[in-house]
């Protein structure tokens, strides 16, 4: 069986995205693991703003990832008993 052609992001999608926004920076990873970037902005100021904001987001994501790697969250213990309000009363007590 032949492998279908690789997926390509439709130009119509990018055109519509451009119609409804003043700019975008889109990164995809194709089936071969290669990065593809798409950048569009109405003017140089918007383009610079989109790229600067993207850089800030990437810095934050990288920092969070590094923190998660160096300080992994301990696994939850399943032997912890969860009680609801009123469950702490002595069952042997009579009213």
The pLDDT tens digits for 19-69 are 999 999 999 998 889 999 999 999 999 999 999 999 999 999 999 999 999
Give yes or no for a contact between 50 and 41, defined as CB atoms under 8 angstroms apart.
yes
pLDDT in the model for residue 79: 61
Residue 70 — φ and ψ, nearest 5°? -80, -25
Whether 9 shows a pLDDT value over 80: the answer reads: yes
Give yes or no for a contact between 24 and 40, defined as CB atoms under 8 angstroms apart.
yes
Give yes or no for a contact between 86 and 75, defined as CB atoms under 8 angstroms apart.
no
Instruction: Kindly state the DSSP code that residue 24 receives in the 8-state scheme.
Output: E
pLDDT in the model for residue 72: 80
- The span from the CA of 89 to the CA of 86, in Å, is 6
Identify the residue with better confidence: 66 or 92: 66
Give the pLDDT band of residue 6 (cuts 50, 70, 90). confident
């Amino acid at each position: 069986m032949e492998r279908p052609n690789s997926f390509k992001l439709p130009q119509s999608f990018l055109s519509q995205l451009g119609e409804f926004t003043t700019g975008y920076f889109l990164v995809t990873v194709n089936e071969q693991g290669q990065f593809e970037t798409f950048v569009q902005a109405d003017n140089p100021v918007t383009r610079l703003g989109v790229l600067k904001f993207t850089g800030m987001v990437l810095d934050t994501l990288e920092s969070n990832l590094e923190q998660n790697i160096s300080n992994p969250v301990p696994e939850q213990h399943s032997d912890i008993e969860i009680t609801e309000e009123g469950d702490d009363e002595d069952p042997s007590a009579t009213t």
